[in-house]
Every structure is written in structure tokens, then in C-alpha cells.
Amino acid sequence: MTAVIETEGLGKRYRQRWALTNCTLSIPAGHVVGLVGPNGAGKTTLLNLAAGMVAPTEGTIEVLGERAAAGPAQLARVGYLAQDAPVYAAMSVADHLRLGAHLNPGWNVEQARGRIERLDLSLGQRAGTLSGGQRAQLALTLALAKRPELLILDEPVASLDPLARREFLQDLMEAVAEQEVSVVLSSHLLSDLERACDYLIVLVDSKVRVAGPVDDLLASHHLLSGPRRHPETLPTGQEVISASHTARQTTLLVRTAGEVLDPDWTVTEVGLEDLVLAYMSDTTTRRGHARQLEVVS
């Protein structure tokens, strides 16, 4: 499977602050990829690097097999919807469509017009007076009508109300189904993406904690609960993602390719939300765990 975004040791520093360090990942084509991580994990920086908005400080990033924003041809293949969907406030909706038509050789006039009509946006309205949801829809229209192979959306629904959120994602999914496009969208809330994406990447501290098709992730993670015991006594092949202990009981989230056979454990399936949360809080848990061990010894 070819990768739409492939990074190797990617890092970006803004003055003294590293926004992303040593990030290596490969995002396959043909998916709707959810990029999830806590605030400050480097999601926006990663997507800005992918769109070529900024240049890497170290490492490499290839988007659709080329350097990001390498030239007009590469730019034409990637659609980017930045956070908060910026549009020209003084320009009308029609002006934005004209902008898209002038600046994109692959512009699809009918599609753009059709979307605007379907969304009930009036062509003459100034973009500055649109609601947040309408603005996002307008920006999405611009990104889609240039007929990209890869569509990148940075927190597309973060500033929308729940209804607008649902409408936006639904509309996005319809458009994606219609036109063969790989999608990468980020959010700090999994619930935004749960319905939309079939591939998940959890980014914490600019590192990929876990990545894979959602179905595979759900199949390979299990929640084990049983009498208190040390997590290191698990058989090899079972990786502990998170552990919590009470005086008597231990609950573990483990990742394993095979079945869990130990009869001491009660095995339950894990939801996507719990899975992602476990990975996101992973580092802190480990630190807590280490402290606990010190007390014992």
C-alpha cells in the first residue's frame, strides 16, 4: 500500500521550542485517517508540515511521494483545511469560488456550485458573516473542488456546535465516498472522529503511540481484570498499555496478536475511546507505576 504521508525523524522547532521531534510515521492511502492526540502533541505542526506551510527543521516528510508544497502540481494534489477554516472575510462566497477557479487548474465548477447550493449558502453573502459551520463548509468546498488526492483537515470541527459537527462530518463522508480521496483529519477528541475514520493514529509528545486500521486495533486490544498481580508476569507477546491497581485487583489494557488464555483474567473487549485514552495517558501511568515500585522495594 502506498503512503500518502511518510515521515522520517521529522522535527520542527519554532525558535527555542520544539513543536515536533523525531516523528516517524507512514499514513497509507485509501483511508479516512484520524489523527488523535492531546493538545500540544504536535498534530497541527505535523499537518502544517504535510501541507508545506512550514519546512521541517530536521528529518524528512514526503506527501504523495513528493516534497510537501514542492510545486503547483504537488499543491494541486493536496487539499488543506486549516484550523478554524480561515476565509477572506471581505469576499463573498461567489468570490471564493472564483478564487478557487482561478488558482486551481483542476477546479470542478459544477461540484463547487452544487455544494454551495446544497448547503444553502447564498453566493452574494460575505464570508465574514457566515456562521462557523458555514465557513467550514465553504472552506471544505474549496478544498474538495480542486479535486485533491489527499485531503488534510486540522481540527475541522473543534469550533463547531454539536449539530454543525455532525452535519460537517456527514457531508465530508459523503464527499469522500463520491470522490476517491484519502483523508487525514485531526482532533484532540476521539468522539469527533469515531464515526468518520477507519484508521487511527494516536500521537503523544510528537511520537506515534499506536497506528492502524480501527478494526485491527479493536481486535488486538483487550481489557483484562483479575486478582492483583505484577504486570511483568504476563506472557511475552502481551504488551501492557495501561495498568491500574486496587488493593486486590489489577486491570490491564494489553495489546496482543493472539488470544488471552490465562483463566485468572476476565477478558472484555475494549472500546475505541478507552483504547485511545489509555494510549494518551500512557506516559503518566508508567511514571506512576515506577514510583509505586520504588515504594515496594
Partner 1 sequence: MIWLTWRQFRLNAASAAVVLAAFSVLLAVTGPHLATLYAGSRIGSCHGGGCGGPADDFLQQLYGNSLTGASSVDGTGAYWLLYLLAILVILGTPAVIGIFWGAPLISSEFEARTHYLVWNQSITRTRWLAVKFALTGLAAIGFTEALSLLYGWWAAPISRAVARGAVTTPLAMNQFSPLVFASHGITPLGYAAFAFALGVTAGVLIRRAIPAMALTLSVFVLLQVAVPLWARPHLFPPERSLTSLSAFADLPDVSVENGSFTVITDGWTREPEGWVLSSETVDLAGQPISSIPAACTRAAQLTGGKGESAGLLNCLSSHGVRIAVTYQPASRYWAFQWTETAIYGALALALAGYCFWRIVRRRFSP
**Residue numbers at the binding site for partner 1 (CB under 8 A):** 14-15, 19, 48, 51-55, 69, 71-73, 75-76, 78-80, 82, 84, 86-89, 91, 95, 98-100, 102-106, 139, 142-143, 146
Contact status, residue 211 vs residue 61, Cβ threshold 8 Å: no
Q: How far is the CB of 86 from partner 1 (least distance, A)?
A: 4
Cell matching residue 99: 478564487
Q: How far is the CB of 175 from partner 1 (least distance, A)?
A: 17
Give every CB contact of residue 284 below 8 A, 6+ residues apart in sequence: none
Q: How far is the CB of 76 from partner 1 (least distance, A)?
A: 4
Contact status, residue 175 vs residue 111, Cβ threshold 8 Å: no
Give every CB contact of residue 77 below 8 A, 6+ residues apart in sequence: 64, 148, 149, 150
Give every CB contact of residue 122 below 8 A, 6+ residues apart in sequence: 93
- The two counts, helices (H) then strands (E), for the chain are 10, 14
Q: Which helix (H) or strand (E) holds 246?
A: none
Nearer to partner 1, 143 or 190 (CB): 143
Nearer to partner 1, 21 or 281 (CB): 21
Pairing of strands 207-213, 17-28: unpaired
CA gap 176, 21 in Å, rounded: 31
Q: How far is the CB of 124 from partner 1 (least distance, A)?
A: 15
CA gap 217, 231 in Å, rounded: 21
Closest Cα partner for 141 from 127, 128, 129?
Answer: 127
Nearer to partner 1, 121 or 210 (CB): 121
Q: How far is the CB of 182 from partner 1 (least distance, A)?
A: 16
Q: How far is the CB of 211 from partner 1 (least distance, A)?
A: 25
Q: How far is the CB of 130 from partner 1 (least distance, A)?
A: 14
Within a 13 Å sphere around the CA of 89, how many CA atoms are in the beta-carbon half?
A: 5
Nearer to partner 1, 86 or 288 (CB): 86
Q: How far is the CB of 50 from partner 1 (least distance, A)?
A: 11
Nearer to partner 1, 55 or 123 (CB): 55
Nearer to partner 1, 54 or 218 (CB): 54
Phi, psi torsion values for 168, nearest 5 degrees: -65, -50
CA gap 224, 230 in Å, rounded: 13
